[in-house]
Chain A
Amino acid sequence: MDYIFDGSYLGYLCCVFEAFERKEFDSIPKTGKAAEITLFSEKRMISTDTKKANRILTGMEKIIGKQETIFFYHNFLSDNQIEWLNGFRLIVELFRKKQLDIHNYGYPPILRLHQSIKKINRERHRMKAFIRFVKSNDYLYTAVVEPDFNVIPLVVQFFKNRFADQCWLIYDLRRNYGFHYDGNTVVEVSPNESDEIRDPYQLEVDLDPQEKAYQHLWKTYFKSTTIESRKNVKLHLRHVPKRYWKYLVEKI
């Protein structure tokens, strides 16, 4: 049985709620897009209900603790059906047995959960590092990215603390949404609410007059720091995989 939810974490948790209500523990949480492909399996539409989702969350926190409950959120941000299913089955197990040894790395599904979280954390760390802001003439600093996983929500607080006195926009082009900070609060933005968001490197007209100069200086700096006699392209590529280059000033 496929459970079709809206793609939000709360919707995902509602699948767990539903599974218990109907005793359909073998169901598979999916989003509409993924479900179209599997034509022949049975489907049930799951509506997102904040109250139900919160009951699941508090229940989990009671059994495994707050910190550990967040693991499942991070795993969910993997954007991956298989990891979703693994997390879903573990939550079901957690409630059926009224316990879950979340650090039992000898148990394959738990190990898998941690491996998935590790990947998310790596991508989150990379976003802190590889986001590059482009300044436009209205003092907005814009960064556009396409992370492998849906990790932008995990770095918003970091950038809010760090760039507290400048307005910025971080936009996930792959998932088509982002976050805007106006010097006070952060709000989620999607393209139908504001204008279409374009790759800021392609902008010419709206740029701050000094923007190009600083991009150029950064490239100069990047080149000057390489020590020719130590060149090691393989290592370089491992640290800065090619798929990120598109948005890195020094690599364009």
Chain B
Amino acid sequence: MFGFDDKLQILADAAKYDVSCSSSGSKRKNNGGIGDSSASGICHTYTEDGRCVSLLKILMTNFCIYDCSFCVSRRSNDVQRAAFSVKEVVELTMNFYRRNYIEGLFLSSGIFKSADYTMERLMLVVKKLRTEERFNGYIHLKAIPGASESLLKEAGLYVDRMSVNLEIPTEAGLKLVAPEKDHQSVREPLTIIKNEIQNVQQDRKTNKKIPLFVPAGQSTQMVIGATPESDFQIMEAANTFYKDYNLKRVYYSGYIPINATDSNLPQIGTAPPLVRENRLYQTDWLLRFYGFSLHEILNSKHQDLDLEIDPKLAWALRNPQFFPIDINTANYNWIIRIPGIGRQSAKKIIQARKYGKLKEHQVQKIGIAYNRAKYFMLCQDTLITAGFHYPEKIRKSILEHNPQSQIKGPNSQLTLF
């Protein structure tokens, strides 16, 4: 028996390797229909591996004419194949949404017959959801490289976010595992959508009636650890794509071995590089929200991230000349560079110090990681000891006393800072 339940199982299972799941950043309002996507993201549940479930993430089909060796859906892989009809995806989405299981839909697909044939079906799903079901929840669509401009543009009218996966950070790496593919075919759809986003934004300034177009922007994903790129190469690729295509997010997905025949890839049984993946996200975060530039964290001298400590701490230990920072006088941009102090606590510190100089016990309570921060900051009552400790000594005592910044074992997922 091959029922709907099996189909869902196969097509959800195949989609789970796509890491993007956020549902924030859109501004679609409910106008009498159902749903909105104006709220910031909501995770409705978490999988047993600890990842957030916010969208119904499925493939339209796992049939594929390509044979990318890092992918479960590749044509040479011996797996069960299934395909949803347009109607089935629409009904599933609506019924899950109405029960408050999900924030919306993340729809992706293997390439069936041709790029346009596949893209058209994806487009029909999102069109039906918006126009017939009056659905205003979040929709993230994976664009199919090689699909025609008119189809991409039509789909863009109905979705909140579009993404095209870069898959492997460098062209050379990609050639190794997917000779039929290239980065150029990813750049094309990204360019079409980017230009249309800009046109629509421009036009909407004068005419509010022009419909939204991909309001939550574009994103991409790279599989890391499948091919031998350094962290510096990965982050350089990310940096370039952020700049060239105005991306909202780049996702880094630690490769999970699923291919027993391709000897270019890590073998089945190898643990996915979870800590490395987390360090890459932390770096991405530092670049986007903490005012760091890439060469401060990674450069030709430091090609790979330190797996034992987070990248902000690693940067601080390499740059003792900037420390300690006086939290009673430094500006926000410097306070957030102190290891163990995040953006929220930095804001609180700045608010609180208006009422008087802050002492150590007060700062501790504000919610910082004091055991890390103490080496790098001055409070009003900090005893000035004989200057800055040796970085190596600090590193050692942080690792000893603060299990937070240590590796927790190969199978744990770390959180951001």
The interface of chain A, by Cβ under 8 A from chain B, is 101, 103-107, 111, 125, 128-135, 141, 143, 158, 161-166, 210, 214, 216-218, 220-236, 238-240, 248-250
Contact = CB atoms under 8 A, between A and B. Distances in A.
B49 A227 contact: yes
Contact of A163 (B44, B98, B256, B354): B98
Interface string B212-226: 000000000000000
B34 interface: yes
Nearest to B414: A235
Nearest to B348: A105
A233 B46 CA distance: 10
B8 A224 contact: yes
B256 A230 contact: yes
Interface string B48-70: 11111100110000000000000
A210 to B, nearest CB: 7
30 contacts: A104-B351, A104-B354, A105-B351, A105-B352, A125-B42, A130-B45, A132-B99, A141-B98, A158-B39, A162-B30, A162-B36, A166-B98, A224-B8, A225-B13, A225-B47, A226-B16, A226-B48, A227-B17, A227-B256, A229-B411, A230-B50, A230-B272, A231-B49, A232-B48, A232-B49, A232-B411, A234-B50, A236-B46, A236-B48, A249-B99
Nearest to B6: A220
Contacts of A107: 355
B228 interface: no
B276 to A, nearest CB: 13
A156 B382 CA distance: 48
A229 B12 contact: no
Given A227-B256, A232-B411, A222 B43 contact: no
Contact of B9 (A106, A133, A166, A220): A220
A217 B16 contact: no
B185 interface: no
Nearest to B44: A129
A236 B49 contact: yes
Contact of B5 (A135, A158, A220): A220
Contacts of B412: 232, 234-235
A106 B357 CA distance: 9
The secondary-structure label for the interface of chain A is helix
B358 interface: yes
Contacts of A238: 50
A239 B44 CA distance: 10
Interface size bracket, B side: 35 or more
Nearest to B363: A106
B33 A222 contact: no
A210 B32 CA distance: 25
A106 B352 CA distance: 6
A230 B291 CA distance: 32
Contacts of A216: 5
B126 interface: no
Nearest to B361: A106
Given A166-B98, A230-B274, A234-B412, 11 more contacts: A111-B365, A161-B30, A163-B100, A217-B4, A220-B8, A227-B16, A229-B271, A230-B49, A230-B50, A236-B47, A236-B48
A239 B46 contact: yes
B352 A161 contact: no
B92 interface: yes
A2 B398 CA distance: 49
A106 B362 contact: yes
Given A220-B8, A226-B48, A165 B16 contact: no
Contacts of A163: 34-35, 98, 100
A240 B52 CA distance: 10
B53 A225 contact: yes
Contact of A165 (B5, B33, B45): B33
A106 to B, nearest CB: 4
Interface string B69-96: 0000000000000000000000010011
A106 B34 contact: no
A163 B99 CA distance: 10
Contact of B352 (A104, A128, A135, A231): A104
B88 to A, nearest CB: 11
Contacts of B413: 230, 232, 235
B13 A224 contact: yes
Given A224-B9, A224-B16, A248-B45, A164 B32 contact: yes
A226 B362 contact: no
B112 interface: no
A240 B46 contact: yes
B289 to A, nearest CB: 21
B30 A164 contact: yes
Given A224-B8, A226-B49, A231 B96 contact: no
A232 B50 CA distance: 6
Contacts of A130: 44-45
B47 A162 contact: no
A233 B47 CA distance: 9
Given A162-B35, A165-B33, A227-B49, A105 B366 contact: yes
A161 B29 CA distance: 9
B101 interface: yes
A141 B99 contact: yes
